[in-house]
Amino acid sequence: MSLKLVPALILMAAPAMAQEGSIIVQSTTSTANSGLYDYLLPMFEEQTGIDVNVVAVGTGQAIQNARNCDGDVLLVHAKPAEEAFVADGFGTERTDLMYNDFIIVGPADDPAGVAGMTDAQDAMTQIAEENAMFASRGDDSGTHKKELALWSDTGVDPAAASGQWYRETGSGMGATLNAGIGMGAYVMTDRATWISFGNKQDYEIAVEDDEDLFNQYGVIPVSSEACPSVNADAAQTFTDWLLSAEGQEAIGAYQVDGQQLFFPNATDSNAPDDNG
């Protein structure tokens, strides 16, 4: 079964009309690009008969779409923004679902000399000092939010170099990787998308294994009080399944090229702490 992606522009035109046995999940490009939904949804749909349609956009856009009542479930990776979504009454409850990490990839010739570094802030500072090309999503996604937080911690203002060594694509993760590779730029990406990405060319992981690169995903049913059109029962059924032992096991079992892409932690109090 192939992933049913719903055109985002159509959904933004008017609130989603809930249909019995059908839900819309506002989600990130990383979860869709990784193939996770292609793996999970057939299991869920076979058991429940609930049809799941996924809108894959950046986290910021996914949250805005859900605020516009254009969805039944929100599954993204920007915890402070998710908590604000619930606090503002648009979501019933936010729960940790799974995690992986971000990495910085770059060309084999490594013009900034950051290959092998495990401190993301030091690596990004060095990239800026060397005026080495860096491609940013620039799209208010969870990845973009994390990248900006890291730049802020370094004291570097990449916006001042916009159009020079710092290039903003305004695109999803896969498109940004393609653009970055085309211009020989470093790119920060979630590991799941990188593992699944088919156009690596001579690119390699340059920076990894920094706690600051932790990447937590959360799941939130959209509130029927804020959005009366939401299919609340089906949304809760899907959320409960993802958080159940079966759903968590399925998430953990998903692999690409023998590598696990996401690590379930709905009930794992020992998972790394998320700093946002």
**One fold for both 8-99+216-264 and 101-213?**
yes
When the pLDDT of each residue in the chain is averaged and rounded to a whole number, the result is 91
Residue 3: pLDDT above 60? no
- For residue range 25-46, what is the model confidence (pLDDT) as tens digits? 999 988 998 999 999 999 999 9
Q: What is the pLDDT of residue 33?
A: 87
Instruction: Report how far residue 258's alpha carbon sits from residue 253's, in angstroms, rounded to the nearest whole number.
Output: 10
Instruction: Report how far residue 150's alpha carbon sits from residue 69's, in angstroms, rounded to the nearest whole number.
Output: 31
Residue 4: pLDDT above 70? no
Residue 271: pLDDT above 50? no
Contact (Cβ atoms closer than 8 angstroms) between residue 192 and residue 120: no
Mean pLDDT of 187-203: 96
Q: What is the pLDDT of residue 20?
A: 56
- Closest alpha carbon to 269 in 30, 27, 95, 103: 95
- For residue range 123-146, what is the model confidence (pLDDT) as tens digits? 999 999 999 999 999 999 999 999
Residue 207: pLDDT above 60? yes
For the chain, the structural domain boundaries read: 8-99+216-264, 101-213
Any idea which of 151-155, 158-162, 237-241, 270-274 has the lowest mean pLDDT? 270-274
> Domain 101-213 belongs to what topology?
D-Maltodextrin-Binding Protein; domain 2 (3.40.190)
Higher pLDDT, 111 or 273: 111
Mean pLDDT of 152-169: 97
Strand 186-190 relative to strand 134-136: parallel, antiparallel, unpaired? parallel
Amino acid at 239: T
Residue 14: pLDDT above 50? no
> Domain 8-99+216-264 belongs to what topology?
D-Maltodextrin-Binding Protein; domain 2 (3.40.190)
φ/ψ of 54, rounded to 5, equals -110, 130
Q: What is the pLDDT of residue 98?
A: 98
Q: What is the pLDDT of residue 269?
A: 43
Q: What is the pLDDT of residue 21?
A: 87
Mean pLDDT of 173-195: 96
Q: What is the pLDDT of residue 30?
A: 87
Mean pLDDT of 223-236: 97
pTM recorded for the entire structure: 0.86
Any idea which of 5-9, 42-46, 117-121 has the lowest mean pLDDT? 5-9
Residue 258: pLDDT above 70? yes
